Structure 1
Amino acid sequence: MEMIKRIAMTATATIFIGSSVFAQSLADAKKAIDAEQYQKAKTMLKGLTTTQPNSAENQFYLGWTYIKQEYADSAKAAFNKGIAADGKFALNFVGLGAAARLDKDEAGATSNFNQALSLSPKDTKVYDYVGRSYLLIVAPATTVSQANAESAIAVLEKGKTANPKVKDAELYVTAGNALISQLKSNDAYKNYSEALAIDPKSVTAHVAEGVLWRYANNWESATNEFNAALTIDPNFGPAYREWAETDLRQANKDIKVASAKVKEGVEHYRKYLSLTDMSIESQLRYADFLYNAGEFKTLQEVTAQLAKSAASNLRVYRYLGYSALENKDYDAGITALNKFIGEAGEKRVLATDYLNLGRLKLAKSDSTGINDLKKAYAMDTTKADVFLEIAKDAYGKKKYADAGNAYQEYFDKSKKGTLQERFAQALSYFFAFDSNNPKADSAVLVKADSAFSYIERKATTPVAAVYQYKGYIADLKDADRNNIKGLAKPYYEKYITLTSAKPTLSDADKRYLAAAYVYMANLYEYKDKDEAKTLEAYTKAKEYDPANKSVVAYFARKTAPAKTTK
């Protein structure tokens, strides 16, 4: 009897297990994709493609899961299997177009989208997924471009009227997403509202409306929408993620609730993570969140742990490198970014990867970092600021001529430059000149003078330091010390006027004023032979810096007893 009972229980368990597997339908897989449970979705879809090998639809959603993870090659393999199973199922051509976009093959994307639309001109899903494909953000971009948004909006508008018998809530959500990417909030709201009118239980529409309210800083309405989504599906992770980001935005906007909202945001994000199975992909999204939040210590800990997994995504090493830079763990950062750049392939490497690698190397006094910074600029010419970094690094290492030249590259390539940066360049060239070296390159002195003159012309108010250094340069040009022309005189006079007018003088100001007066005194004594003015200038110098060596020597001469002749 006991044996029969055990057999019956085993049979019952088998039935339930079989029912569970059977229950994991395409609808469940699609729900997992929407919930950003990509690992779970892939497991389901791989099972479905095994049990239903001739289903082109299963292959499409498997491929789309790979698209969401930016695995273009795996996605293409699934889409091509779908086309082989049913060449008239249009969505797989949409998928190939999306993969082409990830590969930056816009012509291939357009061709595949057109093929899909010609196969199924009345299928709203085809229009929806073409729209979603245009909204994919392809590195190095960080936002949807206006052109791609307009392409998405155009195809989605056609999709709304493609089949008068079908009202597709998901298509309206995608249209809203396209509009909000271009900050067209009112039009986006109309589309989200229409989606909810079609399907009041659309969790994606509720969350999208919540995000819209977040942008408007309407925290209550945003929270209501996230709660509405979670009432429909308590396990819909994206609602928690968007709620977390809303918490952080509110914390930044309202100091009174900042502490509480930051803590609440962390809890909501952890809840999001728990609902996405803590897969590599989900934790990489967590890494994105940590990176954007500037939580570099935690980011390095998380990515270092992820890097130990055999199934780790190479992107882990990018974040490990970035966070190690911020945490001053330079060796770990260099190792991580060298691995990422070496293995990721040309299409996945960003200018920022070389930028951070260069910064890591320079922090270790490895001059090859300059080449990495220049590679970053070659890949993305908007990053002309790398030449500022090169200039500052060279200046710090007392390679003054190199620093001045790097500043010039920055000015030429960026077509900008603050007066402070111009002053730094002028100082670089000034310090590059060695007055004690007979073979010193006087060309750098000319460049320094030119840079100071530029500031003199452009500054809205006179800059005392500019006249101080122009005085130094003019004095250096006054080469014949036995026949001094006083070239520096007008500059020192201007410096004295500007600096002595300050309401409060620093110790440095006093020292520099004393030095300027000493120059004037020397001029009066040796060129003009004017003892009264010489005494007056030295007296002013003594007032500002009694310890000045020239001042001390002059007054020592003045007070020394006169020599008598016998």
Structure 2
Amino acid sequence: MKEISKIAMAALPLIFAGSSVFSQSLDDAKKAIDAEQYQKATSMLKNLTVTQADKDENYFYLGWVYILQDYPDSAKTVFNQGIAKNAKSALNYAGLGAVARLEKNSAGATTNFNQAISLAGKSSTPYLYVGKAYLLDPADAKAAADVLNKGKAVNGKDADLLVTLGDANRLLVKSSDALNSYEAALTANPKEASAIVAKGVLWKFANNFEQSEAEFKAALALDPNYGPAYREWAETDLRWAFNDPKMASAKVKEGLENYKKYLSLTDRSVESRIRYAEFLLLAGDYKALQAEVAELTKMSTNLKVQRYLGYSAVENKDYPTAVTALNKFMSEAGEKRIIPRDYIYLGRAQIGTGKDSLGINTLKKAIELDSTQADLYAEIGKTLFTKQRYVEAGDAYNTFIAKGKGVKLTDHFYEGLSYYYGFQKQYFSTNKEVAAKADTSLLTKADSAFAYVIDKTASSPYADAFLFRARTNDYKDADRNNIKGLAKPYYEKYIEVVNAKGAPTDQKGKTNLAEAYAYLGTLAEFKDKDEAKASENYTKARELDPANKSAQRYFQKKSSAGR
């Protein structure tokens, strides 16, 4: 999430091989990593692996930068080189464990982490990086905290470790413990800007945005060039905007400005720009996001670029671009790096290009990977309904209603519509065998859905629910020679609700109301043998819709009889 102005020196040539020069140079590289100046750090560390090729630490920190840049294959190569230089390099084993975690190789991660800890001796740094490796997946904060506490026992004044322990406790929602760790880090090193920023992040998640800003300002007072403070400040602005609608516009604008400051203090590397892209994604600025990642595709093979290009293209309804980008990402990233969200966006893109069946199957894949994505069934239902695959649409809405979290009354209504139209499509099929076997259970399902809507809108009646429940029950009145009038109470209620709002002025409203009166007229004419009632209802139907066939038939019959 950062971007950085170009650095003055791409590499730091080392002329001297003395230990003091090595120490200072590695320290500079580590400071660059902390400042998220990854391009600068990479250049320095590559140089160190040449000029100080026997130092296994150089390889580890170079590999760690690759981890942070999402290049696990390159990281693995460098960590192995470090171990080749020193078979007892605890840090490089920690690095291999981190790679194994990214590859979702739990056994490999555990083996390498255990090896790192067994070789750590009196150094807390291997514990630190095993903890950081666990935190690559926030869900593993407990494992991170456990190993970091062991590292704390080795060296309770390791400020970096204390900050990371605080981060783990924050993710575990142990806010007091997190704050204590950050304060301990500042006691160990009063100039630890990352600890102050971490306190700001802690306050951010407590929605104490003013205190959060105060911490970021304090970190910048300590080090005006500490870019991560601006990045976290920008992300706090965004959270503030989401939580306070009155401040939304101002805070999103401020967040973008703070992110630009962050970029100016880093090296504007591809990775920094990718983090900026992530910020734009969170901010919902999809046009800016697509423009940013479109530029990045010209200069980077980082697969995240393709992922975010795909996401933004979907949001901007540029579906062909999205399909191409996401297919490239998913084919090259491999299953271990694919997340449910990738399938969600690819599915939407496929549907957007007209490949509905493929898109629906892709959305279902997302649900298989993450059952909390059950709300996608609503999208699937909508797509199927649009394509007139009504029975499947009804089933999708039914599943969404059973498992989803954002269920609305309109979803129940569309479940009913889907089953209603599904039956109707079978009933009027040109295939006589299909028509003869029209599934009446669909009518029961439709009736149940409409009944639910009617029940939940009793205080503010939803007219169309009565209309479609009437139509559904009319189909259920199967014996047309001995009609029971199952639809009557719903058509009557429909008439009552519509007229209570005033006579309809649009043709669709008039046609639907005429349908209700015509049904009552037919019932009075043929079932009740009430000529006066029949005439009254047919007359109202004709006035609303002169083209109503039932009314036309009735009055033509009367006209013929009167001759």
Question: Which TM bucket (shorter chain)?
Answer: 0.7 to 0.9
Which deviations, in whole Å up to 9, do the C-alpha atoms of 1:376-404 show, x marking residues without a partner? 33333333333332321221122323323
**Contact 2:323 2:346 (C-alpha < 8 Å) held by counterparts:** yes
Q: What residue number does 1:128 align with? A: 128
1:386 aligns to 2:376 (yes or no):
yes
| Distance in 1 separating the partners of 2:168 and 2:479 | 73
Q: What residue number does 1:456 align with? A: 451
Q: Mark the CA change 1:485 to 1:222 in structure 2 (over 3 Å): closer, same or farther.
A: closer
Quote how far apart the aligned CAs of 1:18 are. 5.3
Which deviations, in whole Å up to 9, do the C-alpha atoms of 1:294-324 show, x marking residues without a partner? 1111111111111112x43121111111111
**Contact 2:314 2:345 (C-alpha < 8 Å) held by counterparts:** yes
1:338 aligns to 2:337 (yes or no):
no
Quote how far apart the aligned CAs of 1:481 are. 3.9
What SS does the aligned partner of 1:31 have? helix
| Distance in 2 separating the partners of 1:528 and 1:257 | 65
Q: Mark the CA change 1:410 to 1:501 in structure 2 (over 3 Å): closer, same or farther.
A: same
Deviates more, 1:99-108 or 1:425-434: 425-434
Q: Which amino acid aligns with 1:152?
A: A
| Distance in 2 separating the partners of 1:316 and 1:231 | 34
Query: Quick one: which of 114, 135, 154 aligns to 1:162?
Result: 154
Which deviations, in whole Å up to 9, do the C-alpha atoms of 1:238-277 show, x marking residues without a partner? 0111122233334445566554443332222112112221
1:322 aligns to 2:317 (yes or no):
no
- Where in structure 1 are there 5+ consecutive unaligned residues? 1-15, 138-143
What SS does the aligned partner of 2:373 have? coil
Q: Mark the CA change 1:19 to 1:213 in structure 2 (over 3 Å): closer, same or farther.
A: farther
Q: What residue number does 1:447 align with? A: 442
| Distance in 2 separating the partners of 1:255 and 1:517 | 48
Q: What residue number does 1:223 align with? A: 213
1:401 aligns to 2:388 (yes or no):
no
Aligned pairs for 1:193-232 (under 5 A) are: 193-232=183-222
Q: What residue number does 2:420 align with? A: 430
Q: Mark the CA change 1:257 to 1:386 in structure 2 (over 3 Å): closer, same or farther.
A: closer
Q: What residue number does 1:472 align with? A: 471
Q: Which amino acid aligns with 1:81?
A: Q
**Contact 1:422 1:451 (C-alpha < 8 Å) held by counterparts:** no
Quote how far apart the aligned CAs of 1:199 are. 0.9
| Distance in 2 separating the partners of 1:26 and 1:105 | 30
Q: Which amino acid aligns with 1:446?
A: S
Bigger Rg, which one = 1
**Contact 1:207 1:225 (C-alpha < 8 Å) held by counterparts:** yes
Q: Mark the CA change 1:382 to 1:424 in structure 2 (over 3 Å): closer, same or farther.
A: same
Quote how far apart the aligned CAs of 1:365 are. 1.3
**Contact 2:14 2:51 (C-alpha < 8 Å) held by counterparts:** no
Q: What residue number does 1:9 align with? A: none
1:288 aligns to 2:259 (yes or no):
no
Deviates more, 1:289-298 or 1:374-383: 374-383
What SS does the aligned partner of 2:143 have? helix
Q: Which amino acid aligns with 2:71?
A: Y
| Distance in 2 separating the partners of 1:255 and 1:465 | 34
Q: What residue number does 2:256 align with? A: 266
Quote how far apart the aligned CAs of 1:291 are. 0.9
| Distance in 2 separating the partners of 1:377 and 1:446 | 27
Quote how far apart the aligned CAs of 1:283 are. 0.9
| Distance in 2 separating the partners of 1:555 and 1:106 | 80
Q: Which amino acid aligns with 1:362?
A: I
| Residues paired across the two proteins, number | 537
Quote how far apart the aligned CAs of 1:28 are. 0.4
Query: Quick one: which of 138, 141, 145 aligns to 1:153?
Result: 145
Q: Mark the CA change 1:544 to 1:450 in structure 2 (over 3 Å): closer, same or farther.
A: same
| Distance in 2 separating the partners of 1:262 and 1:411 | 35
Quote how far apart the aligned CAs of 1:514 are. 3.1
| Distance in 1 separating the partners of 2:282 and 2:405 | 29
Q: Which amino acid aligns with 1:193?
A: E
Q: Which amino acid aligns with 1:102?
A: L
| Distance in 2 separating the partners of 1:382 and 1:121 | 44
1:299 aligns to 2:293 (yes or no):
no
- Where in structure 2 are there 5+ consecutive unaligned residues? 1-11
1:65 aligns to 2:60 (yes or no):
no
Matched-pair identity in %:
53
Deviates more, 1:515-524 or 1:496-505: 496-505
Deviates more, 1:65-74 or 1:168-177: 65-74
Deviates more, 1:115-124 or 1:248-257: 248-257
Quote how far apart the aligned CAs of 1:411 are. 5.3
Deviates more, 1:536-545 or 1:318-327: 536-545
Quote how far apart the aligned CAs of 1:472 are. 2.0
Aligned pairs for 1:106-121 (under 5 A) are: 106-121=106-121
Quote how far apart the aligned CAs of 1:465 are. 3.8
Q: Mark the CA change 1:414 to 1:489 in structure 2 (over 3 Å): closer, same or farther.
A: same
State the structure with bigger RCO (CA 8 A, min sep 6), 1 or 2: 2
Q: Which amino acid aligns with 2:239?
A: R
| Distance in 2 separating the partners of 1:75 and 1:240 | 28
Q: What residue number does 1:234 align with? A: 224
| Distance in 1 separating the partners of 2:16 and 2:348 | 53
| Distance in 2 separating the partners of 1:172 and 1:60 | 21
Deviates more, 1:383-392 or 1:27-36: 383-392
| Distance in 1 separating the partners of 2:449 and 2:408 | 11
| Distance in 1 separating the partners of 2:263 and 2:406 | 44
Q: Which amino acid aligns with 1:283?
A: R
| Distance in 2 separating the partners of 1:378 and 1:506 | 48
